[in-house]
Each structure stands twice: as structure tokens, then as C-alpha cells.
Amino acid sequence: MANPNSRARAAHNHLITQYSNAPATALHLLRALLRRAALPSQAALSSLLKSLSSSSPILLLPALQLHALALKLSLSSFPFPGSALVHLYSKSRLPYDALKAFDEIPFKDEVCYGAIIIGLAQNHRFHDALSAFKSMLCSGVPSTMYSISGVLRATAAAAALEQSQVIHAHAFVSGFESELVVATALVDSYGKCGLVLDARKVFDGLSQYANVIAWNALLSAYAQQGDAASTVELFDQMVAHGYAPDEFTFLAILTSLSNVGMVHKAEEWIDRMEKCYGVAPSLEHYTCLIGALVRVARLEDAERLALTMPFKPDAAVWRTLLSGSMVHNAAEIGIAAGRRLLELDQRDDSAYVILSNIYSMAGKKDEMAEMWTKMRNQGVKKEGGRSWIELQGKVHVFIAGDRKHEQMPEIYAKLVELMEDVRKLGGSVKDDENVWYHSERLAVAFGVVAGAAPEGKALRIVKNLRICGDCHEFFKFVSRAVEREIVVRDVNRYHRFESGTCTCKDFW
């Protein structure tokens, strides 16, 4: 006959699990259980941790107390509660703590690996997510649709095309390629790597199984390329198939229109999305419209919209205006936007740098010096530029003036050769060695030397910051010199250099 106390404990633990969607009630039940000198089960503790991580805002303090309890009861080392802790810290934007919780699990299963891979990808630890996926496979732990979709999120963010293709092959062999969550991640990954046709091919394989998320992933792929016509055409197909567009659908459309400066169309879509589809425009949608106005040099209209729209402008709005003012040499608007940006975030390094450049262009040397002084006094350091390029599945990262790569002698020699080619083609090479050895130039020189892409294929480079004007001009001539398409994905958009021109039409 079962012990009544055991039955009561089991019933209490079951209640905690049942109330996992109500964190306050579940915590109250846990306290009552502990007062009776009874202990929570793995399932109850895990459910409560997941409940706390899903709350808004995340209830971190009670979660930390639960982690302490799990340590005392030696439960945190089991896969079920251990993976719940990994998920909790990942959702709390604490990837280091998520890794610590993961490392404390001695026998990790596919759920544990899925949690850490997804968590690292969500927290922009893309190379760590790739390493965790490789470690999982080397440990003989089978992949799941969640671990595969998580690692594809990492390759998408890093625009690591070769890695995406390898994982695609793994998904096919493992039988997960047709799973909706994996196929959608593949569409997103190929789209962010700039291969829209490959993204479309995967999407078409979904046939009638696609959902709004998958449609949005493909729409975003076209939007990132500034292909407004294809984005709108795809939207019409989506609606014709009976799918109701959401806020992300319209964000993709407005992004594509913003990238090509189609202001009137963007205004029409802002109006249409609510009237025709019942989706209220958000701040992000208005930011796209502001971006379109900035692109066509309607800076006063953009500033007026920022101040009169039904949302309080955020840092992204003022940063868009600030960058546009720099491009169009509109010092007054740029200075006002920069000051507003710094009011919102005094540690935004880009605001100090662009503002100081605007002051310099306007001949205001004292204000420029004052801006650098403020930046130094705030302890803000300019983010270092990094560029990376793939070769046979390995990502090679470069910083400006880098000397650490094993092929540096050949890279620097090739870069000198490319600069000479640019001069012969009529291009200007700035007399400044600091510009000569920017990270993206080192990356393209390495790509040419090492054969980073087969003949006829584009050289693909990713940069963590905005590509500078000198390098942008340089790349246009390099594309002619090497007779290759060069694709650069910077923090703002894709640049496709071919035969001396760029798809951004010199605005980014």
C-alpha cells in the first residue's frame, strides 16, 4: 500500500506542474510543499522554471532562488531541470550563466543541447552556438528539429553560407529538412546569406505546409535585397493563398520600399495595412517610412514625421536621421538628431563618431573636439570594425590593420596589387594607410588569394559595422579588377558590387 505522505507529495507536485502558467500560484504551492518538509520533483521544478522564464518581465529573483534549491537537492545536474535553467538564463539575456548551467549537466541529452544552441543564437553568440552543435554531434547525441533550427539561426546571423549549406545537408540526411521549423530556418538562413533563389527553392518545397512565419521569412529575404517589386508580388501571392498578413509581413514590405526610397508607396502601405488588414502600424513601420524619406534627401520631412508620428521616437529613428544627415550633408538636422540620440543613450558610440564627423564637415572644430572629449569622459569606446569571410567551412575574421593571420604576407601583397589595379581603372586611393587596411579590404584580399569562392561565384564578406565610403568606392573598382561579384553584408544592408556598380546606388 502506498505511503499517504508519498501520495500527498505526488499530488502537490502535480498541482505545481498544473499551475505552471500561473507563476505566483505555483510558487505559493512550492512554499507550502517545502513547509511540510517535502521536496519538489524534477518535473515540478522544471515546469516552474519554464513558467518563470516565460513571464513578462522574467521573474529572475525567484528563479535564482529555485536554482539554489535545485543545487541543494542535486537536481540541477539532471537533463530536465538543467535544460530549464539553460532556457531561463538564455531568456534573461545571461548567456554566460546559461553556459555554466549547461556545463553542470554531466549527461547531456538532445533537449539540453537544443536549449543551449537556441539560447546562444538568441543572445548573438553565434560562433558558440555553432561550436555547441558540433560538440553535440561529436558526442553522439542525435540532433532534433530544434537544435537544427537553432544553429541555422546562428549561421543566418553570421551570414555563414557554407555552414548553412552543411547544416542543410545534415537536416536532409537526418530527415528533418521537411519539418516546418527547420525549413523556415533554412529560408531565413539563405535569405540572410543573400541567396534569395535558394531561399525560394526551400520555401517552394513546403508547398501547402507553409505558415505566415515561413512567408515572412521569404518576404524578408527579398526585402533585404531592396527588391520591392518581388516583395509586393510575393505578398499578393500570400494573400491569394488565404494567409492573413501580420506586423512582420508589413515590416518586410516597408523595409524593401525604404531600401529603394519609394516614399509614396511606403505611405500608401502604412495607410493600407490598418484600413485593409486591421494591422495597426507600429514604431518600426514608421521608422521604415522615415528611412525612405531620408534616402531621397527629404530630411526635413523625415524630422517632421519623427516629431509628429503617434509614437515617441526611439534610438533607431534618430540614428536613421543622423546617418542620413551625414550622407546628405545636412549638418543642422544631423546635429539635432545626434543630440536626441545621445539623450536616449549616452553610450552609443556611433552617435559620437557620426556627430564629430558632421561637426568636422561643417567646419566646427571646437564642437568636434568637444564630442570626442564627451565620448572619452563617458568611457565610451568606438566599436572595432570586424569583417569575416568563409573558406571551406571555416570563418576567417579580420580587424583593421590585422597582422595575425597566417597568410598576412600574401594578403597585404594582394591588397597592394588591388590598390594599383584601382588606380589604373581611374579610381582614387586615399593617401591614408589607416583606410588602406580596413577589415573589409583585408577580407576581400584574403578571398582573392585563398580562392574563397569557386570561379563564377561571388566573394561574400560580412562586416559588423557600416562599410565606409572609401571602402565602398574601392570595392566597386575591385569588382571590375577581379571580374567577380563581391557581396558585402554590413550592419545596414546588402551591397552587391559588380562591374563597378553597387545595388545600393551609393546610399546605405
Same domain, residue pair 441 and 356: no
- Last residue within a domain, chosen from 363, 382, 401: 382
% pLDDT > 70, the chain: 92
Same domain, residue pair 437 and 492: yes
Same domain, residue pair 336 and 439: no
Contact 479, 486 (CB under 8 A): yes
Question: Would residue 74 count as lying in a domain?
Answer: no
Q: What's the grid cell of residue 153? A: 539561426
Question: Would residue 459 count as lying in a domain?
Answer: yes
For the chain, what's the residue count? 508
C-alpha span between 43 and 46 (Å, rounded): 5
Same domain, residue pair 405 and 422: yes
Strands 486-489 and 459-463: parallel
Peptide linkage before 79 cis (omega within 30 of 0): no
Domain carrying residue 440: 386-502
Query: Into how many domains does the chain fold?
Result: 2
Query: What is the per-residue pLDDT for 1?
Result: 40
Question: Would residue 124 count as lying in a domain?
Answer: no
C-alpha span between 69 and 358 (Å, rounded): 55
Same domain, residue pair 494 and 450: yes
- Last residue within a domain, chosen from 364, 382, 400: 382
Ramachandran area for residue 374 (φ above 0: left; ψ -120 to 50: alpha; else beta):
alpha
Q: 3-state SS string over 172-191?
A: HHHCCCCCHHHHHHHHHHHH
Q: Which residues of the chain have pLDDT under 70?
A: 1-23, 25-26, 37-39, 453-456, 507-508
Task: Write the DSSP symbol of residue 76.
Answer: T
Question: Would residue 394 count as lying in a domain?
Answer: yes
Question: Would residue 493 count as lying in a domain?
Answer: yes
Same domain, residue pair 395 and 495: yes
For the domain that residue 342 is a member of, what is the CATH number? 1.25.40
C-alpha span between 338 and 465 (Å, rounded): 18
Same domain, residue pair 450 and 495: yes
Helix (H, G, I), strand (E, B) or coil at 461: strand
Distances (CA, A) of 211 to 168, 203, 223: 20, 10, 18
Query: What is the per-residue pLDDT for 2?
Result: 45
Same domain, residue pair 376 and 462: no
Same domain, residue pair 416 and 345: no
Q: What are phi and psi of 211, to 5 degrees?
A: -120, -175
Query: What is the per-residue pLDDT for 11?
Result: 60
Q: Which of 197, 173, 169, 203 is nearest to 185 (CA)?
A: 203
Residue 117, class by beta-carbon neighbours within 10 Å (0-12 exposed, 13-18 middle, 19+ buried)? Answer: buried
Question: Would residue 446 count as lying in a domain?
Answer: yes
Same domain, residue pair 332 and 423: no
Q: What is the pLDDT of residues 190-208, one digit of tens each?
A: 998 888 999 999 999 987 7
The structure's pTM equals 0.83
Question: Would residue 299 count as lying in a domain?
Answer: no
Helix (H, G, I), strand (E, B) or coil at 257: helix
Contact 469, 461 (CB under 8 A): no
Residue 142, class by beta-carbon neighbours within 10 Å (0-12 exposed, 13-18 middle, 19+ buried)? Answer: exposed
Task: Write the DSSP symbol of residue 403.
Answer: -
Same domain, residue pair 463 and 378: no
Q: What's the grid cell of residue 416? A: 597592394
Question: Would residue 443 count as lying in a domain?
Answer: yes
Helix (H, G, I), strand (E, B) or coil at 212: helix
Cβ count within 10 A of residue 122: 18
Query: What is the per-residue pLDDT for 159?
Result: 83
Any alpha helices (H) in 36-125, and if so which ranges? Answer: 42-54, 60-72, 79-91, 95-103, 110-122
Contact 156, 164 (CB under 8 A): yes
Same domain, residue pair 360 and 436: no
Q: What is the pLDDT of residues 62-78, one digit of tens each?
A: 888 888 888 888 888 89
